[in-house]
Amino acid sequence: MLQLLGTSDLLQPVSFALVAIFLILLYKWSSASATTANNSLPPSPPKLPIIGNFHQLGLHPHRSLLALSKRHGPLMLLHFGSVPVLVVSSAEAAREIMKTHDIAFSNRPKSTIYEKLAYNYKDIATAPYGEYWRQMKSICVLNLLSNKMVRSFRAVREEETQHMINKIKDSCSILSSSSSSSSVLNLREMFVTLTNDVICRVALGSKYSGEEGGKMSKEIIKEFVELLGTTDIGDYIPWLSWLSHVNGLHAKIDKVAKQFDDFLESVVQEHIDQMSKSGNDERVHVENKEQKDFVDILLGIQEGSLAGFSLDRVGIKALILDMFIAGTDTTSATLVWTMAELIRNPRILRKAQDEVREVLKGKRKVEETDLSELVYLKLVLKESFRLHPPAPLLLPRETLESCTIEGYEIPANTMVFVLAKMVGSDPKCWENPKEFLPERFMDSSVDYKGNHFELLPFGAGRRGCPGMNFAAKLIELALANLLYCFDWELPHRVRREDMDMEEAAGLTVAKKVPLFLAARPAYP
Size of the site for ligand HEM (CB under 6 A): 25
State yes or no: residue 48 binds ligand HEM (CB under 6 A).
Answer: no
* Cβ at position 230, least distance to ligand HEM in Å: 18
Tell which positions 7-26 bind ligand HEM, by CB under 6 A: none
Minimum distance from residue 409 beta carbon to ligand HEM (Å): 22
The residue count of the chain comes to 524
Residue from 465, 485, 510, 515 that binds ligand HEM (CB under 6 A)?
465
Classify strands 83-88 and 415-418 as parallel, antiparallel or unpaired.
Answer: parallel
Over the window 471 to 490, marking each residue x when it contacts ligand HEM by CB under 6 A and - when it does not, the resulting string is x-------------------
The whole-angstrom separation of Cα 276 and Cα 282 is 6
CA distance 74 to 429: 13
Q: List the beta strands (DSSP E) in 94-189.
A: 183-186
In the list 69, 330, 338, 399, the residue contacting ligand HEM (rule: CB under 6 A) is 330
What are the strands of the beta sheet with 183-186, ordered from one edge? 183-186, 516-521, 486-489
CB of 395 to ligand HEM, least distance (A): 4
Contact 264, 317 (CB under 8 A): yes
Interface region with ligand HEM, contact rule CB under 6 A, candidates 153-161, 288-296, 353-361, 465-473:
465-473
Stretch binding ligand HEM (CB under 6 A), from 263-271, 337-345, 423-431, 452-460:
452-460
327 binds ligand HEM (CB under 6 A): yes
Asked if 331 interacts with ligand HEM (CB under 6 A), we say yes
Binding to ligand HEM by residue 137, rule CB under 6 A?
Answer: yes
Known binding residue 172? Answer is no
Contacts 24+ apart (CB under 8 A), 248-251: 248/10, 249/10, 250/112, 250/116
Chosen residue from 17, 267, 394, 405 binding ligand HEM by CB under 6 A: 394
Q: How far is CA 521 from CA 484, 486, 514, in A?
A: 9, 4, 22
For ligand HEM, the closer CB: 14 or 505: 505
Q: Which is nearer to ligand HEM, 234 or 424 (CB)?
A: 424
Q: Exactly one of 205, 300, 467, 506 binds ligand HEM (CB under 6 A); which one?
A: 467
Among 80, 153, 436, 470, binds ligand HEM (CB under 6 A): 470
CB 320 within 8 A of CB 183: no
Using alpha carbons, select from 518, 419, 390 the residue that is nearest to residue 62. Answer: 419
From CA 240, how far away is CA 344, in angstroms rounded? 46
CB of 458 to ligand HEM, least distance (A): 5
> Is residue 124 involved in binding ligand HEM (CB under 6 A)?
yes
Q: Which of 2, 94, 316, 326 binds ligand HEM (CB under 6 A)?
A: 326
How far is it, in rounded angstroms, from Cα 199 to Cα 471?
Answer: 10
Residue nearest to ligand HEM (CB): 459
502 vs 499: CA distance, rounded Å: 9
Q: Is 463 among the residues that bind ligand HEM (CB under 6 A)?
A: yes
Among 81, 466, 510, 518, binds ligand HEM (CB under 6 A): 466
The yes or no reply on residue 457 touching ligand HEM (CB under 6 A) is yes
Q: How far apart are the first and last CA of the chain?
A: 48
459 sits near ligand HEM (criterion: CB under 6 A):
yes
Long-range contacts, stretch 161-169, CB < 8 angstroms, 24+ apart? 161/194, 161/474, 161/477, 161/478, 161/481, 162/365, 162/481, 163/197, 164/190, 164/193, 164/194, 164/478, 164/481, 165/365, 165/481, 165/482, 165/485, 168/485, 168/486, 168/519, 169/485, 169/521
Q: Contact 483/327 with Cβ under 8 angstroms?
A: no
Q: Find out whether 303 and 255 touch, Cβ atoms under 8 Å.
A: no
- Tell me whether residue 381 or residue 518 sits nearer to ligand HEM (CB atom): 381
**Is residue 455 within 8 Å of residue 379, measured between CB atoms?**
no
Q: Cβ of residue 475: shortest distance to ligand HEM, in angstroms? A: 7
> Across the strands, what pairs with 521?
486
- Among the listed residues 105, 458, 484, 488, the single contact to ligand HEM using CB under 6 A: 458
Footprint of ligand HEM on 332-391 (CB under 6 A): 334, 390-391
Q: Which residues belong to the annotated binding site for heme? A: 465
- Which residues form the interface with ligand HEM (CB under 6 A)? 124-125, 137, 322-323, 326-327, 330-331, 334, 390-391, 394-395, 457-460, 463-467, 470-471
Q: Which residues belong to the annotated binding site? A: 465
